[in-house]
Chain A
Amino acid sequence: MSIAVELREVSRHFGDVRAVDRVSLAIEDGEFFSMLGPSGSGKTTCLRLIGGFDLPTDGRIFLHGEDASDRPPYERDVNTVFQDYALFPHLSVRDNVAYGLRMKGVGRKERRREADAALAQVALGGLGDRHPGQLSGGQRQRVALARALVNRPRVLLLDEPLGALDLKLREQMQVELKGLQRRLGITFVYVTHDQGEALSMSDRVAVFNHGRVEQVDPPRELYVRPRTTFVAGFVGTANVLTGAVARRITGADRPVSIRPERIAFGAAGAGQLGVAGKVVDVQFHGPTSRFEIEAEGVHLAVTLANGDAATDAGRPRPGDAVELSWSPEAMAPLRDSGEGDRAGQGTPVLPGSAVPATSGAAGAATIDERS
């Protein structure tokens, strides 16, 4: 596999702010690569550096092996799908899609044919004569996609392309985007703050925090083996134990992460770890229920899959005393991400708005992992 995009020690400073801080990445040809992080983590700036809309303060950027660090956007073989689509309001949909070809001097007839083909590819055939203002959000999204793809770029950059769509449409577009990428074999570099989106679509995910990359891994690896306290908290829900609490409960001298679904009710068996505590709250999330437990000065989250009313009847209720247990392999050892996470000793680190399903609970238990 050859490398499509490579960043070597790339930094971008705005005054004193290090929006991107010594980031090194190698994105393979044909890969669906996501850059995931909260707002202000540097993921979008990174994408803009690859697209050429901004130039790095330091470091080099290579596109297919060539140093493109100082090249303007119009000399880079990449195309971008912008966050709010950036369609030209004064041009028809067809002229929008044909724009790139027109700039490269392709003849009127041919670019019309190509544009119509690209529109058909995103299921918008027949809408070429409309203006962007007459389209729905989802349709504009597809026009933006067609406008980029018609140029047959080797790398497609997508800046939160589904952010403005409602949930149903977003899920549908996720499937379509993934299918399109597989069919065309183009490298996708996909920026998102939605960890669910990143996990479900990507071959690999880079997690950004404070301008730095904390971890680059395939989705499953990222979820099962988070390597830092930040990643554990941002990707999915995790019980992150740090400092003295971690030492007391696990005996180990470093932070650990335990996923809520890996904790069971009941006394610890042979070789297992366990704590005793009290149920504070129970939340119903449809397929699962989430139990908030106060145990030995630690706040833990436990999730159980929901069955029918009869089987779930005997479950603990708020106020009940319970015992919790888990196996040692359920724990992922972590490295400290630095400031901001120390406040979270023994508290479940919830991804703030990233997971709609848990947002109802976030208010009570979220700790300030992003300050």
Chain B
Amino acid sequence: MTEADRASATGKPVRPRRRAGDAVSTFFYRRRRLYLWLLLAPPLLWFGVVFVGALLALVWQSTYTFNDFAMQVTPDFTLANYRALFVEANRDIVIRTVAMAASVTIASAMIGFPIAYYMARYTRGAARGLFYVGVMLPMWASYIVKAYAWTMILSKGGIIYWVVDRIGLRGALDGILTLPYVGGSSLSTSNLGRFLVFTYAWLPFMILPMNAAIERVPANLLQASADLGALPWQTFRTVLLPLAFPGVVAGSIFTFSLTLGDYIIPQLVGPPGLYIGMMVNLQQGSVGNLPMAAAFTAVPIVIISIYLWIARRLGAFDAL
């Protein structure tokens, strides 16, 4: 083919041209590893120092000694803070917090799954966008405001009592509130009320990862399951749930650790009694016992680690 032919077929021949910056691009094109390292170094540094480093420092400081009389911290190694976790009062705090976190997580998963499933499988375009906004919108409002609003909603004379009165179920509600652990003098001072507020606050953190996981399950796997004779609940249990389980685990880590660390909602709603988050706040704020606060912080880390280990053993991440 001659030069003239080529020009006539495509108009003007276009060739790669040397431009400014070519030398730099070529330099990096031939040194991919260096390029990658240059790109990754700043975020890796940030991650290493701010995330991992700070966490290690925290654990390190939990072994410092706090002098009760001088109200001073000295960097002498001790395990006294961890021993103190097992003192009855502190153990109660841990159990109380973990029990609430577990209940909130289970409830969020049960409420969240159908919503996430519907979002992932049945909505398209604008409807899906609306669901996303609907799920995330409450997260944009200050959560202290929402927690205060809930104290009103749950109080005697609040809207829930009003509705319950109207439909004649006041007796049932009062009955529930007499139950041990769950009840209290009113909804707003009961564990039930606190549970409702926690579940409300953390539900989006459960829905979003579950939605992402369900979205990734190909529809034809569900069809194949039905084709092979599985009833809908069997398909749910043997195909959908196992494949979406990593999302459930991710969501439950959020709801679990958020409950373990929160110190606002337990102050505003529910019966008296400290939570881990409140204890951390108290220890470092009022008392100045940073080592003890750090030791309390280690509790969620240990619990989540055990949880992840169990989930892994159950095969939750096999399909990833």
Q: In the assembled complex, how far is the CB of residue B237 from the closest CB belonging to chain A, in whole angstroms?
A: 11
Encoded as 1 (CB less than 8 Å from any B CB) or 0, chain A from 104 to 125 comes to: 1000000000000000000000
Most-contacted residue by chain A among B218, B223, B227, B238 (CB, 10 A): B227
Contact across chains for B226 and A84 when beta carbons are under 8 A apart = no
Contact across chains for A88 and B220 when beta carbons are under 8 A apart = no
Among B220, B223, B225, B319, the residue within 8 A (CB) of A99 is B225
Q: In the assembled complex, how far is the CB of residue B236 from the closest CB belonging to chain A, in whole angstroms?
A: 12
Q: Judge whether A100 is part of the interface by a CB distance below 8 angstroms.
A: yes
Contact across chains for B218 and A100 when beta carbons are under 8 A apart = no
Contact across chains for A84 and B220 when beta carbons are under 8 A apart = yes
Among B227, B234, B242, the residue within 8 A (CB) of A79 is B227
Q: Judge whether A51 is part of the interface by a CB distance below 8 angstroms.
A: yes
List, in ascending order, chain A residues with CB within 8 A of B225's CB. 88, 99, 103
List, in ascending order, chain A residues with CB within 8 A of B315's CB. 90
Contact across chains for A53 and B223 when beta carbons are under 8 A apart = yes
Residue of A nearest to B243 (CB): A90
Residue of B nearest to A77 (CB): B229
List, in ascending order, chain A residues with CB within 8 A of B242's CB. 90
List, in ascending order, chain B residues with CB within 8 A of A100's CB. 228-229
List, in ascending order, chain A residues with CB within 8 A of B239's CB. 88
Q: A74-B231, A103-B234 are in contact. Are A86 and B221 (CB under 8 A)?
A: yes
Contact across chains for A73 and B226 when beta carbons are under 8 A apart = yes
Q: Judge whether A147 is part of the interface by a CB distance below 8 angstroms.
A: yes
List, in ascending order, chain B residues with CB within 8 A of A102's CB. 238
A211-B4 Cα distance, complex, nearest whole Å: 50
Chain A interfacial residues counted at CB < 8 A:
25
Q: In the assembled complex, how far is the CB of residue B229 from the closest CB belonging to chain A, in whole angstroms?
A: 4
Contact across chains for A151 and B226 when beta carbons are under 8 A apart = no
What secondary structure prevails in chain B residues at the interface with A?
Answer: helix
A80-B224 Cα distance, complex, nearest whole Å: 7
Q: Judge whether B230 is part of the interface by a CB distance below 8 angstroms.
A: yes
Contact across chains for A72 and B228 when beta carbons are under 8 A apart = no
Q: In the assembled complex, how far is the CB of residue B139 from the closest CB belonging to chain A, in whole angstroms?
A: 31
A73-B228 Cα distance, complex, nearest whole Å: 8
Q: In the assembled complex, how far is the CB of residue A280 from the closest CB belonging to chain B, in whole angstroms?
A: 19
Q: A82-B220, A82-B223, A86-B221 are in contact. Are A74 and B230 (CB under 8 A)?
A: yes
Within 8 A of A (CB), among B176-235: 218, 220-221, 223-231, 234
Contact across chains for B228 and A99 when beta carbons are under 8 A apart = yes
Q: Judge whether B318 is part of the interface by a CB distance below 8 angstroms.
A: yes
List, in ascending order, chain B residues with CB within 8 A of A84's CB. 218, 220
Within 8 A of B (CB), among A36-74: 51-53, 72-74
A83-B227 Cα distance, complex, nearest whole Å: 14
Contact across chains for A82 and B224 when beta carbons are under 8 A apart = yes
Q: Judge whether A89 is part of the interface by a CB distance below 8 angstroms.
A: yes
A86-B319 Cα distance, complex, nearest whole Å: 14
Among B228, B231, B234, the residue within 8 A (CB) of A151 is B228
Contact across chains for A90 and B228 when beta carbons are under 8 A apart = no
Contact across chains for B226 and A72 when beta carbons are under 8 A apart = yes
Among A51, A87, A104, the residue within 8 A (CB) of B229 is A104
Residue of A nearest to B228 (CB): A100
Q: A82-B220, A90-B315, A103-B234 are in contact. Are A51 and B227 (CB under 8 A)?
A: yes
Encoded as 1 (CB less than 8 Å from any A CB) or 0, chain B from 137 to 179 comes to: 0000000000000000000000000000000000000000000
Contact across chains for B230 and A86 when beta carbons are under 8 A apart = no
Encoded as 1 (CB less than 8 Å from any B CB) or 0, chain A from 126 to 141 comes to: 0000000000000000
Q: A84-B220, A86-B218 are in contact. Are A73 and B227 (CB under 8 A)?
A: yes
List, in ascending order, chain B residues with CB within 8 A of A103's CB. 225, 228-231, 234, 238
A25-B199 Cα distance, complex, nearest whole Å: 55
Residue of B nearest to A83 (CB): B220
Q: A74-B229, A74-B231 are in contact. Are A86 and B243 (CB under 8 A)?
A: no
List, in ascending order, chain A residues with CB within 8 A of B227's CB. 51-53, 73-74, 78-80, 148
List, in ascending order, chain A residues with CB within 8 A of B229's CB. 74, 100, 103-104, 151
Q: A79-B228, A103-B230, A147-B228 are in contact. Are A90 and B223 (CB under 8 A)?
A: no
Q: In the assembled complex, how far is the CB of residue B288 from the closest CB belonging to chain A, in whole angstroms?
A: 51
Most-contacted residue by chain A among B220, B224, B318 (CB, 10 A): B224
A44-B218 Cα distance, complex, nearest whole Å: 18
Please list the 4 inter-chain residue pairs (A to B) with the smallest Cβ-Cβ separation, ordered nearest first: A100-B228, A86-B224, A73-B226, A86-B220
Would you give 23 A-B contacts (Cβ < 8 Å), ordered by A? A51-B223, A53-B223, A53-B227, A72-B226, A73-B226, A74-B230, A78-B227, A82-B220, A82-B224, A83-B220, A86-B218, A86-B221, A86-B223, A86-B224, A87-B224, A89-B243, A89-B319, A90-B318, A90-B319, A99-B225, A99-B230, A102-B238, A104-B229
Beyond contacts A53-B223, A88-B225: 14 other A-B pairs, Cβ-Cβ < 8 A, are A51-B227, A53-B227, A79-B227, A80-B224, A80-B227, A82-B223, A83-B220, A86-B223, A88-B221, A89-B243, A100-B228, A102-B238, A103-B228, A147-B228
